Every structure is written in structure tokens, then in C-alpha cells.
């Protein structure tokens, strides 16, 4: 009677057969003896010199062949290339002119420690704003050269950035017959080497309906007329009258500016100390104070002089509602430097004006201070007008 083989027995038999086969192969390998090498029967060929060009091509070069520098950092021997994009704005107010030049500077492959600009003859910078300015050094002007020390920030490997804003402010007066004005051009390429390009946009602004501005076409001008709808958002404003783009900073722009005196409000002294009086309104003269004598019940008695108490000379705030504009909002501005900004709106034209501390609004009125909840405006006589407001996130 036959007995069937189980699965465990089959696995055991297969393993035993494999083990026996391996042992047999091992014994045959150990028993095999190789014969000692004999004498060569063919003569070896004579050695020939190799190809020099092939040898140099296949040879491995040493590290000194690569200049001995780190490949992950820019080569210090390469000059720094500057790429400058400018945003220029000229704002004509009633009695002053404010020019702002904002330059976006990109650098590669190294960071420049100072940026130089060449100003027009006789021009002087009023203030410089730069978030990347070197705090250990101060900016200065030597003749026509303006030097701004910077510590550019690293955007990515071998690519740096800094933003510089130049402000120039001065008096301005235009006549009804017309006043010729030439825009001052500031150039970085004329003051620094290796400026690869210097392009930008330029706008001419005038709030309200104060001036007629006509651009005179200059032969060979590098300016290109731009529609106001195409102005970059950094320069967009309802007061813009003209806009241009330039490919080089040596442009020439001449304007013919005519004042509209009939539409300009005249600042005159009024009652109440508001400082603003419409035309044709009569000037009210203060009446004399009445003299108060002794009462009838005290006849025969001399009036005793009253002791005068010391009075504090506290100047009263003028009526801010009489000004031709009102406060719309107080903003926090972080670029190019953190500070407060007052947004004023003209009551007649609806024009919005963005002003900082020290900026002239119109006529002899300027921003004295901007706090968290108020804006104080001062005129040339020292009178203060106070607007109350809050930051935009509190409205």
C-alpha cells in the first residue's frame, strides 16, 4: 500500500537535493588544479607614443584650472551692472512745486554700496527716502553729484535691489501770459559706470483747474507721449495732466504754464481768523468795547479797581471748515519709509491730495503735524487749523 508524500516532505527533499548539488560543485572546484603559466609563443609589439591631443583631452584638470573660486557665489572681479527704473512726478501747486523721483535699482552680480545721481546745475535735493539706506553713513551732495549710501537686499543669488526717492521742493509762480518751465532731469548713468539701462515714466500734475499746461515739442526728444490711462499705479492720480515715458535720462521737456487767476481763490484776512474770504465780501472792522461805569445804587462811591487775574495766552484753533478742502482719511505708508499720510479733498473740484508732514497744500498752508487722530495745518502767520480723523482701518 503506497503512502502519499506530504508538502513538508517534498520541501525537505528539494532542499536536500540542492544541498547535495552544491557540495558536489564545491568538491569539484577544490579538486581542480590550474597548470602553471608557460612561456609566450608570440613576441610582444614595440610600445608606441600616444596622441598628445588625445592625452590632453582625456586628462583630468586640476582645481587651479578653474580660477580657484567658489562657483556658488558671484565672481568679485566682475563689475556690478545697474538696471534703473524711474517714476518721476512734478506737482504744480498754487505757490510751490514738488518734484519726486523714485528709482527702483536692481544690481547684478554684486551689490553696490552707494548709488550716485547727477543733478541739474543749481538743483538741490530737499530730502532723501530709502528703506535700504546705510544707517552708519549719511547721504550728501557734492556739487551736482548726489551720493546715497545703501545696503541692498538680496532677492536671489547674485541679484540685489534698493529703492531711492529724491524730493525737490521750491516756490513756483506762473503768470496768465504763460511761463516757460523745463523739467529737471536726474541721471544715474552720468554719475556711475556700468549702468545697463535707465528707463522710466514721468507725469505732470496740477490739482483742480489752476493752470493750462502745454508741452512744447523738442526736436530729437527721447520722450514718448503716454495716455493717462497707461500711467503706472504708483503715479496714478486724478490731478495728472500729462504723462511721458523715457528710454534715457537725458531727456528734455519744456512746458508752457498759464495761470487761470479768475478761478483761483484768494487768501485774505476775515473775521473769525479763518484766513479765507471770498472775493467781494466786505471786511468787518471790530467795534469798540463799551465802557462800563459805576452802578446807580453806588452813587458817591468811587469804583474800586478790580484785581486783574493773569491770563494765559493760549492761541485758539482757527475754523478748519472755512478752508477749501477737508480731511478724507489718515493713512499709514510703509514705502519707501514708514510714516503717516493725510488725504485731503478739495471741496470745489473733488480732487484728492496726499500730503505728508511739511508738504505745502496750497497758498501759504502746509501740513504741520499728522497724529493718530488729527491733522494740523498751519499758515504763514502761525495760525493752526485742526482736522480730526482716524486711520483708514478705523473708518
Query: Is beta strand 195-205 parallel, antiparallel or unpaired with respect to 81-92?
Result: parallel
Give the CA-trace dihedral at 322, 327, 328, 332, to 10 degrees: 170
- Please tell me whether residues 131 and 220 are part of one structural domain: yes
pLDDT reported for residue 39: 82
CATH code where residue 155 lies: 2.60.40
* pLDDT (tens digit per residue) in 22-46: 999 999 888 877 777 778 788 878 8
Across the chain, what does the average pLDDT equal?
Answer: 79
- Identify whether 121 is part of a domain: yes
Nearest-angstrom CA–CA distance, 149 and 116:
9
Nearest-angstrom CA–CA distance, 323 and 69:
67
pLDDT reported for residue 319: 75
- Identify whether 180 is part of a domain: yes
* pLDDT (tens digit per residue) in 268-277: 434 434 444 4
Which of 13-17, 168-172, 278-282, 379-383 has the lowest average pLDDT?
278-282
Which helix H or strand E contains 90, and what residues bound it? strand 81-92
pLDDT reported for residue 51: 76
Q: Is residue 379 over pLDDT 80?
A: yes
- Please tell me whether residues 248 and 344 are part of one structural domain: no
Mean pLDDT of 44-50: 78
- Please tell me whether residues 369 and 256 are part of one structural domain: no
> Range of 150's domain?
81-263
CATH code where residue 353 lies: 2.30.30.830
Other Cβ atoms closer than 10 A to 253:
22
**Taking the alpha carbons of 25, 28, 30, 32 in that order, is the dihedral positive or negative?**
negative
Question: Is residue 284 very low, low, confident or very high in pLDDT (cuts 50, 70, 90)?
Answer: very low
- Identify whether 288 is part of a domain: no
- Identify whether 302 is part of a domain: no
pLDDT reported for residue 270: 41
More confident residue, 2 or 84: 84
pLDDT reported for residue 44: 79
Question: Is residue 244 very low, low, confident or very high in pLDDT (cuts 50, 70, 90)?
Answer: very high
pLDDT reported for residue 390: 65
Return phi, psi of residue 43, to 5°.
-70, 145
pLDDT reported for residue 263: 42
- Identify whether 182 is part of a domain: yes
Give the residue from 244, 263, 282 where a domain finishes. 263
pLDDT reported for residue 388: 84
Q: Is residue 85 over pLDDT 60?
A: yes
pLDDT reported for residue 291: 47
- Please tell me whether residues 254 and 115 are part of one structural domain: yes
- Identify whether 381 is part of a domain: yes
- Please tell me whether residues 206 and 326 are part of one structural domain: no
**Taking the alpha carbons of 345, 348, 351, 354 in that order, is the dihedral positive or negative?**
negative
- Please tell me whether residues 121 and 247 are part of one structural domain: yes
- Please tell me whether residues 234 and 85 are part of one structural domain: yes
pLDDT reported for residue 347: 83
Question: Is residue 191 very low, low, confident or very high in pLDDT (cuts 50, 70, 90)?
Answer: very high
Give the residue from 214, 240, 263 where a domain finishes. 263
Mean pLDDT of 364-378: 86
Q: Is residue 283 over pLDDT 50?
A: no
Return phi, psi of residue 12, to 5°.
-65, -45
- Please tell me whether residues 232 and 89 are part of one structural domain: yes
- Please tell me whether residues 223 and 125 are part of one structural domain: yes
pLDDT reported for residue 21: 95
Nearest-angstrom CA–CA distance, 377 and 304:
45
pLDDT reported for residue 58: 73
Domain count, the chain: 2
* pLDDT (tens digit per residue) in 299-350: 555 555 556 666 555 555 567 888 888 888 888 887 666 788 888 888 877 7
Return phi, psi of residue 229, to 5°.
-70, -20
Q: Is residue 262 over pLDDT 50?
A: no
Give the residue from 236, 263, 290 where a domain finishes. 263
pLDDT reported for residue 323: 85
- Please tell me whether residues 156 and 89 are part of one structural domain: yes
- Please tell me whether residues 259 and 338 are part of one structural domain: no
Amino acid at each position: 500500500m503506497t503512502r502519499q508524500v506530504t508538502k513538508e516532505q517534498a520541501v525537505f527533499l528539494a532542499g536536500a537535493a540542492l544541498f547535495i548539488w552544491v557540495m558536489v560543485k564545491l568538491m569539484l572546484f577544490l579538486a581542480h588544479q590550474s597548470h602553471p603559466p608557460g612561456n609566450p609563443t608570440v613576441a610582444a609589439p614595440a610600445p608606441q607614443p600616444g596622441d598628445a591631443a588625445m592625452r590632453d583631452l582625456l586628462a583630468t584638470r586640476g582645481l587651479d584650472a578653474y580660477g580657484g573660486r567658489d562657483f556658488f557665489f558671484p565672481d568679485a572681479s566682475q563689475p556690478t551692472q545697474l538696471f534703473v527704473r524711474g517714476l518721476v512726478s512734478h506737482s504744480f501747486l498754487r505757490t510751490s512745486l514738488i518734484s519726486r523721483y523714485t528709482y527702483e535699482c536692481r544690481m547684478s552680480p554684486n551689490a553696490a554700496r552707494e548709488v550716485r545721481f547727477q543733478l541739474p546745475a543749481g538743483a538741490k535735493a530737499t530730502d532723501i527716502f530709502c528703506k535700504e539706506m546705510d544707517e552708519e553713513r549719511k547721504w550728501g551732495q557734492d556739487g551736482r553729484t548726489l551720493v546715497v549710501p545703501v545696503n541692498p537686499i538680496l532677492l536671489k543669488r547674485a541679484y540685489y535691489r534698493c529703492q531711492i526717492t529724491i524730493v525737490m521742493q521750491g516756490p513756483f509762480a506762473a503768470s496768465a501770459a504763460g511761463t516757460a518751465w523745463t523739467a529737471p532731469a536726474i541721471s544715474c548713468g552720468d554719475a556711475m559706470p556700468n549702468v545697463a539701462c535707465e528707463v522710466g515714466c514721468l507725469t505732470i500734475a496740477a490739482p483742480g483747474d489752476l493752470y493750462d499746461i502745454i508741452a512744447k515739442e523738442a526736436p530729437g526728444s527721447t520722450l514718448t507721449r503716454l495716455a493717462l490711462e497707461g500711467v503706472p499705479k504708483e503715479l496714478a492720480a486724478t490731478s495728472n495732466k500729462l504723462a511721458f515715458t523715457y528710454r534715457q535720462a537725458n531727456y528734455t521737456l519744456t512746458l508752457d504754464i498759464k495761470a487761470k487767476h479768475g478761478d483761483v481763490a484768494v487768501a485774505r484776512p476775515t473775521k473769525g481768523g479763518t484766513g479765507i474770504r471770498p472775493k467781494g465780501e466786505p471786511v468787518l472792522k471790530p467795534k469798540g468795547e463799551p465802557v462800563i461805569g459805576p452802578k446807580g445804587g453806588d452813587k458817591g462811591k468811587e469804583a474800586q479797581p478790580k484785581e486783574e487775574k493773569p491770563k494765559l495766552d493760549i492761541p485758539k484753533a482757527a475754523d478748519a471748515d472755512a478752508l477749501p478742502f477737508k480731511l478724507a482719511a489718515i493713512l499709514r505708508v510703509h514705502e519707501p519709509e514708514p510714516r503717516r499720510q493725510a488725504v485731503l479733498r478739495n471741496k470745489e473740484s473733488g480732487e484728492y491730495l496726499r500730503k505728508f508732514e511739511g508738504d505745502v497744500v496750497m497758498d501759504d498752508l502746509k501740513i504741520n503735524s499728522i497724529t493718530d487722530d488729527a491733522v494740523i495745518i498751519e499758515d504763514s502767520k502761525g495760525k493752526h487749523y485742526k482736522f480730526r480723523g482716524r486711520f483708514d482701518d478705523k473708518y
